[in-house]
Amino acid sequence: MKKPLLLIVYGLVTGLFLLFFWYYGIRDDKQNDWNENPIGLMGDIEEKYVLVTFQSDLDYWRSIMKGFEDAAQLLNVSIEFRGASQYDANEEITVLEQVIARNPAGIAVTAINPEALNATIDKAVNAGIPIVLFDSGAPDSRASSFLGTDNYSAGATAARELGRLLSGQGDAAVLTQPKQLNHQERTKGFVETIQQEFPGIRVIEIADGKGSVPGSAQAAKTLLDTHPDIDGFFATQANGGVGIGQTLRERGLTGRKVVIGFDTDKGTLDMVKDGTINATLAQGTWNMGYWSLIQLFHQNHDLVQPNSEDMNGAHPLPPFIDTGITIVTKDNVDNYYAK
């Protein structure tokens, strides 16, 4: 009678213990976790990605920054914005080197000109920091990707719009920043398309808008003075359009000259709305920022194409993402204002 009693007691105690052990030891109380929606891409708030610009106070960058920020929110990482305050290549190199020294999780940089940053970009690559270019590229660098507008086709689009508005006849001038690659490509696209598709239109001058509103206004004034019969303008950047518009207003020539602007800053949009500028080309700036961070995140977490360590072989990331271009006219300009 005592043997089974002992066994029963043992069994009871062991059973209790196993229950206890399961409850406190093994059980992973999922029910007590916050309702985390399991997202596939989830980073650490400790990861820092840096966006490097030049002329850092340009409003143009704001939209790109927002895209970058939105991606950071989604991926739960932290970000920083740095840049050269002036339009100065050396300053941007310095800033970029400082950023590299802090060993961030990734860098998105826009190149002030196609060559100046190459060495520094390659330094980042050598340090193992994922680095992509946006808006203004540097094709000879070893950055993993370039996100930006197909500038050539942007220029071509502008040419077609101008040609349409001028009905294929007239003189046109281009206001640009001659040293910047993206502007060069736009200019090229514009000029070549005019040549190929609108033989009746002549590109009489390619002027330097100095990258500012006053500079562009001044350049426009000079153009009007030298070529009073000029019919149309194409500005390859936002300031250019606004500058030209201001000059036209001063001279009372609004509506009499065709202006194709670029970008969708408020000044340009207002001028499109009131007709001073006929059309402007909207770049996919938000996309540039957003997809830059997505790409950097992927490369940082090694979520890239397998077996692409050998840089001579397959690209880990898409080497070029065309963020698109759209024509903004009075008809759809309201969509481009902030809601």
Partner 1 sequence: MQTVDMKPKHSFFRRLLPRNLPIRYKLLVHFLLITILPSLILGLLTDFVVNRIIEKQMNENTLQLISKVNRSLEFYVGNVQNTTYLISYNPEVREFLYQDKPDQAAREEALEFMRGFPTLQTEIAGIMVVNAKGDYLSNDMYSRSASKDLTLETWYQEAVAGKGIFKVIGHPYGRNVTTHANYKDTEVVSAVRAILDPDSQKVMGVVLIDLKLRVIVETAQDVRLGKTGLLMVMDEKGEPIYVPKQLGFQKIPLMWLKGQPSGQFVETINDRKLQFIFRKSSFTNWSTIGVFSTEEASPEVRQIRLYVGTFVFVVCLLGITASFALSHGISRPIHRLMAFMHRAESGDLKTRYWGDTMDEVGMLGRSYNSMLTKIGDLLQLTEKQERQKREAELRILQAQIKPHFLYNTLNTIDWMARKQGAQDVSEMVGALSKLYRIGLSKGNEFIPLAEEFDHVRSYLQIQKLRYRDKLKYSLDLDPDIAHLSSLKVILQPIVENAIYHGIKERRGPGTITVRGVRRDHAIELSVIDDGIGMDGQTLALMRERLDHPMQASAEAAGTGYGLANVQARLKLTYGTSDCGISIDSEPNVGTTVKLKFPIHEEGG
List contacts with partner 1 (CB under 8 A). Answer: 1-2, 6, 9-10, 13-14, 16-17, 20-21, 24-25, 29, 32-37, 45-46, 56-57, 59, 62-63, 65-66, 69, 72-73, 76, 78-81, 83, 85, 265-266, 338-339
The least distance separating partner 1 from the CB of residue 308, rounded to whole angstroms, comes to 31
- Give the sign of the dihedral formed by CA 32, CA 37, CA 42, CA 48: negative
Nearer to partner 1, 36 or 310 (CB): 36
The least distance separating partner 1 from the CB of residue 30, rounded to whole angstroms, comes to 11
Cα–Cα dist 135/61, whole Å:
10
Residue 237 DSSP class: S
Written as six digits, the tokens of 227 are 């070529």
Q: How far is CA 192 from the centre of its chain?
A: 26
- Residues 276, 330: contact at Cβ < 8 Å? no
The least distance separating partner 1 from the CB of residue 24, rounded to whole angstroms, comes to 5
Residue 279 CA neighbour count, 13 Å, CB half: 21
The least distance separating partner 1 from the CB of residue 248, rounded to whole angstroms, comes to 16
- The CA-atom distances, in angstroms, between 139 and each of 12, 115, 145, 312 are 75, 8, 9, 15
Nearer to partner 1, 87 or 320 (CB): 87
Written as six digits, the tokens of 333 are 């300009």
Q: Residue 125 belongs to what H/E stretch?
A: helix 118-126
- Residues 173, 204: contact at Cβ < 8 Å? yes
Nearer to partner 1, 27 or 330 (CB): 27
Residues 6+ apart with CB under 8 A from 103: 127, 129
What angle is formed at CA 102 by the lines to CA 98 and CA 105, rounded to 5 degrees?
Answer: 120
The least distance separating partner 1 from the CB of residue 150, rounded to whole angstroms, comes to 23
The least distance separating partner 1 from the CB of residue 5, rounded to whole angstroms, comes to 9
The least distance separating partner 1 from the CB of residue 256, rounded to whole angstroms, comes to 23
The least distance separating partner 1 from the CB of residue 257, rounded to whole angstroms, comes to 22
The three-class DSSP label of residue 262 is strand
Residue 25 DSSP class: I
Cα–Cα dist 66/144, whole Å:
22
Q: Residue 186 belongs to what H/E stretch?
A: helix 181-197
Written as six digits, the tokens of 149 are 């507008």
Q: How far is CA 159 from the centre of its chain?
A: 23
Nearer to partner 1, 189 or 284 (CB): 284
Nearer to partner 1, 144 or 264 (CB): 264
